[in-house]
Chain A
Amino acid sequence: MRKKGAQGMAAALLAVTLLAGCSSNNTGNNANGAAEGNAPATPAANASAEPANAGTDTGSTESWKQDTSPFKFTQYFYGNWASAYLWKDQYAMKLATEKTGVTIDRKLATGNDDDYLNTMIASGDLPDTIMLDWNNPAVSKLINNGMVYSMDELMDKYAPELKSMLDPDMVKYHSVNGKLWYLPNLFETADRLTSGVPITPIRPWFFREDIYKAIGSPELKTTDDLMNALKLAKEKFPEISPVGVENFDVAKNSFGGSLSMNFLISSFSPNLLEERIKDDQQIVEYPMRNKGFIDSFRYMNQLYRNGLFDSQLLIYKQEQYEEKLYGAQYAAASQYMSNMYTQYNPKIESTLGADHKYTIIGGLQANGQDPRYAASRLMGWQGFFITKNAKNPERIIRFAEYAWSDEGQLDARYGTEGETYDMVDGLPKFKQEIMDLKLKDNNAYNAQYGFDDSTLLMRAGKLWDDASARDFQEQQPEQFAGAKLLEKYNFDSYSLGMDNLEPDGSSPEGVINGKVKDLWNKTIPKLILSETDADFDNAYNDFISQMDKVGAEKAEKVMYQRHLEDMQKKGVQ
């Protein structure tokens, strides 16, 4: 098998090389003209933008304008789901190319992302740039193996303007060994919790409207209320699956197993994050040691034993779940907030009728306590890495400067003033037909315009954050109301210092952490499908003793150190 693996690896690499080889010529002829033509819009936008960017001058010093001849670089995007991000001829992509001459040849993994990434790292055959979650274990490999340029080095040499645009807090938080090795996107500023679109840090649960009405619209205030409502739903609609949750995979979705679990975990263990920190023992506990956390799995087990949870969900792939959700085949289902309102509900309304749509369930109390949702400003999503394999790092860092600038942000988010958006009260606003397309047929909107999908170097900025908050409230009142309903349970978890705790994958503790996750992944189905309380307890106790045996405590000690570091980096010691 090892041999077969090596062959597969070779074949994959060959494919990558071949793909990298074929590059089509792009039109960059009018790039200069377009850039000049658009320049006047920029200072205006700048004036109302955030003060951190005061250093951005008008025009001439921008390094990316020095060379706008056609140029193409390759990029691997970590996330094989992201076909919408591939550069075809979407509006936002064409706009970036017209202005800068740059085209991104973006590629996705054909199978498992970690497999694909590690194969590239092991063989040293990296693309020019990589977009990778900044807290992925492979990040330290890229940096420690000297496979990527430091941003400082490139910025000092080629794009000094970019350096002055960066948020100092971000630079402080993301620097490793005193240098910035990647540009993190979606790093949010301190005012995030009070401005912009309301944060919904969990995947909410929804009830199908007609079923909810048919069982008499009972009050859903506690987890027990939900259980009873589901029982009623099953009686009245025996052909419907009572509960739908997203797929279970600890490696991907962290300790909750399924992203849908966080809703329950926040109810059963509202103080989970604080409780995990044990200063006296100098450890940050694994959540699996927390009673409330386990109670949420006990609740799932209750659902199963009451015939309300279909065990198929444990083996479903994401697509299978989505298919059933499009068919509104669950009485209650969990889904990412915005997807429910912009994809599922519109589709359900047009195919099955408006009464089959899903309506949000508010926060649920358990054991008499209100839930608490750990909301924090995002410390970033993905890092933009420039690898040592890059043939022209100079052009790439200058392109990053464009993307990071207010002009680049507006281009990527809103397009061209007068054509795709207008300025209304000092804030950009999409033309109505584009807004309608975005809300009613998101896939078509992405395929045609590709806004937010082009450079992917999104950063915080008052201008567009305010604009999106206004649009959200105006255009999606239903989702806005839903978000407000849950927002009251949010608390700011930023200062707890609980971000990016898991030990570095290549360290001995990282190996232990991997084993713990693997064990937990195997335990979840056993817990949920237990036939008796005793079975449940046995499976759980087995897991705890196995976890201790592989050395969980060592990883918990490292997590405590990383917790201290996180606080220090955030300046909340």
Chain B
Amino acid sequence: MSKVHEIYKAPLPFSLAPPLPPIIPTNPITWIPYIYYYLFSRTPKQIPVQCSVDVGTLSCLVTDKESIKRLWTSGFFGKGNLSRSEPTWHVRTKRSLGLLGFDEDLVAEEITARRRLQRKRFKAQRAYREQCARQRQLCIERGEEVPDYLKEDAELPKELTEPLSSSLSAQNPSEVTFVPELEHLQLTFPEAFFLSSLGTLVVNGTDNFSSTPLLHVFAELTAKSPGFITEIWNEFPGTSFSQLDPSNYIRPDNTFLVELAAYYYFRQQGWVVKGGTKFSVDYLLYKRGPVFSHAELAILLLPCIGDYQKQNLKWHELHCLNRTIGQVKKTLVLCYVQCPAPEKFKDLWQRQKNMDPWEWSKLILSNYSIQCVTLRRWVPDRNRD
């Protein structure tokens, strides 16, 4: 358990101080580095991680193994595209092809799979014993002698006692000897922007990256994505994107901006924020990380411009969602993201030309505010509080 605490020590991939030599209280010479850094402290320069934009899935991809490890172990950023959370496809594939031992360096998915098999085996054994007990009872009632195989201490059939490793055995009919590294770490746009603002990530990709602020690039890519395009086509029929000024189709409730505002809000409070699609919500919040405990909160984002809410829930949708979240022992939180009014937003967007990119991004974000409402089902005659 302490190994986990050691590996996932750092909350963010950001080093606050350079590593200092050990201090010995009785030897004044060892005090000198500490005094020096106390008087002349400067945040060390961060070594950024490289990533590239994937426009088709609105994400950023990291392929370097060391970078992936660094991003995952300090703050649980990103997700392996072929794994449940941390990229483990390489190890699992090698094991399924027999290129890795049965119990060597097990990863999360394999531990879960084995546990499930053990439980299934245990249930099968229990069901068999219960059936034997029933048949024994019938024999006794009929006054017959209980046969040997039905007796209480009889042996279980072979299928229920053979080792579990046989059902997880490796299969390599084509005799593959080498498995390439085909998995990458995928970061969502809010994650990539957050890391970039810390100086830990450099986003490489399409043209005009150096001149345009990252916030603008991500908002534009999101607005132009095929999923959202029909809205814009309906409003500006017949035009192509090159003719339109971005401020015409980047709305205050642009999905990227709303998600970013909420992401920043929760990350600043120390939560680890991950995607919540599997529970039909937007975000899942972990107290320290997926490795330590299950997610406590399930966040649903509801963007509002002034009093207007683009998407609202009908009573049965909210009820259904609340039941689903309650069933998995999480708490539903409705997160209302208050976006600036369209005129103000347009004005703020124009200021891009005169401001430093990060100052401008800060200005845009500061105009978004968050209000959270927690929902819990309450039955008057069950709960006494």
Question: Do chains A and B stick together as partners?
Answer: no
Q: A interface vs B, CB < 8 Å?
A: none
